């Protein structure tokens, strides 16, 4: 059931997410809605949009809609947006569960992915395949610290110190859910120009970035995976079925949505937010790109 803020008031669970065009978002929402149907719980879905501004506004207005609680798949385009959202969570008058992301320094229940394990695992896979010069590419710099730590830890285990120019960590400026490859392609181009001929492989913190690197590599004559191995994180269908299928750390999006529903139930039954943290791990699915 999808409603706008002007709709009739409901005693419902809200699911606040970036966009129905955002694959990870609708897959998490699908898991959430599956359990909601089984439990006979009414659901209100609210889209944030590509700038992420409305997520904080929605949290401030949930009480007006007589919503019992909210599950939020947050979307941050900057460190400032992350700080604004964290402040909105602390002021929200109904229980909130974040899904896909864990907030630090804020007491908030969360179902989140083990991003350290994701980056560590794919970096180890590349090391085990014989690569030593491994780059790192991330967007959403405010939310990717654990990815970077996992990547660096795996290299340190093998006594490898990456060169600074092997890494590019920046924030998306103009995310576009209708053209999701537009900005990742720009990132990929900058990364390949920066170090594409000096590395053997690259760890990307999402599948769109991995596809962006592959596009950029082709333009300069680098073959994937012969000249450059490329790995992503997400396990998106669009990346799996691309003309160069992307090797990826597949995240359990549907399970995350199901677990978020259960956590919100627990909060409404009196559990404290700090006791309700669920960490999920995924698995590497090897395809053509690495």
The tokens of 131 are what? 């690569």
Whether 211 maps to a domain, the answer reads: yes
Nearest partner of 25 among 86, 74, 87, 85, judged by Cα: 74
pLDDT tens track for 97-138? 999 988 877 889 999 999 999 999 999 999 999 999 999 999
CATH of the domain at 239: 3.40.50.2300
pLDDT recorded at residue 10: 57
* Number of structural domains in the chain: 2
Lowest mean pLDDT across 44-53, 196-205, 233-242: 44-53
Tell whether the model's pLDDT for residue 177 goes beyond 90.
no
Whether 5 maps to a domain, the answer reads: no
pLDDT tens track for 211-260? 999 999 999 999 999 999 999 999 999 999 999 999 999 999 999 999 99
- 119, 149, 151, 161 from 201: Cα distances, Å: 13, 17, 12, 15
Assess whether 120 and 246 both reside in one domain.
yes
Assess whether 140 and 198 both reside in one domain.
yes
Assess whether 119 and 243 both reside in one domain.
yes
pLDDT tens track for 257-289? 999 999 999 999 888 777 788 999 999 999 999
Query: 61: domain range?
Result: 13-113+252-280
Assess whether 238 and 140 both reside in one domain.
yes
pTM higher than 0.85: yes
Q: Any residues with CB less than 8 A from the CB of 149 and at least 6 apart, and which? A: 116, 119
Residues 14, 64 contacting (CB under 8 angstroms): no
Whether 287 maps to a domain, the answer reads: no
Assess whether 90 and 180 both reside in one domain.
no
Whether 7 maps to a domain, the answer reads: no
Assess whether 73 and 138 both reside in one domain.
no
Residues 171, 144 contacting (CB under 8 angstroms): no
pLDDT tens track for 143-172? 688 999 999 999 999 999 999 999 998 877
Assess whether 130 and 157 both reside in one domain.
yes
pLDDT recorded at residue 194: 95
Assess whether 89 and 180 both reside in one domain.
no
Whether 286 maps to a domain, the answer reads: no
């Amino acid at each position: 059931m999808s409603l706008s803020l002007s709709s009739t008031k409901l005693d419902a669970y809200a699911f606040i997410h970036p966009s129905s065009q955002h694959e990870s978002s609708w897959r998490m929402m699908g898991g959430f809605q599956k359990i909601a149907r089984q439990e006979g719980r009414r659901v209100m879905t609210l889209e944030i949009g590509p700038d992420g501004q409305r997520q904080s506004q929605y949290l401030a207005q949930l009480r007006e809609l007589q919503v019992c609680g909210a599950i939020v798949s947050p979307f941050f385009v900057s460190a400032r947006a992350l700080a604004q959202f964290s402040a909105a969570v602390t002021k929200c008058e109904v229980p909130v569960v974040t899904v896909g992301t864990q907030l630090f320094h804020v007491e908030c229940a969360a179902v989140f992915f083990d991003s350290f394990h994701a980056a560590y695992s794919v970096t180890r896979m590349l090391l085990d395949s014989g690569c030593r010069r491994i780059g790192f590419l991330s967007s959403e710099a405010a939310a990717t610290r654990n990815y970077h730590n996992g990547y660096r830890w795996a290299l340190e285990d093998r006594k490898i110190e990456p060169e600074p120019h092997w890494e590019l960590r920046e924030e998306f400026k103009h995310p576009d859910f209708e053209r999701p490859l537009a900005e990742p392609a720009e990132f990929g181009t900058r990364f390949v120009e920066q170090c594409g001929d000096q590395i053997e492989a690259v760890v990307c913190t999402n599948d769109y970035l991995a596809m962006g690197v592959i596009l950029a590599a082709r333009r300069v004559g680098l073959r994937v995976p012969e000249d450059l191995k490329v790995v992503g994180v997400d396990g998106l269908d669009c990346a799996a079925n691309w003309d160069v299928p992307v090797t990826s750390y597949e995240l359990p999006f549907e399970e995350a949505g199901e677990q978020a529903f259960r956590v919100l139930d627990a909060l409404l039954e009196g559990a404290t937010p700090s006791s309700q943290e669920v960490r999920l791990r995924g698995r590497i699915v090897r395809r053509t790109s690495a």
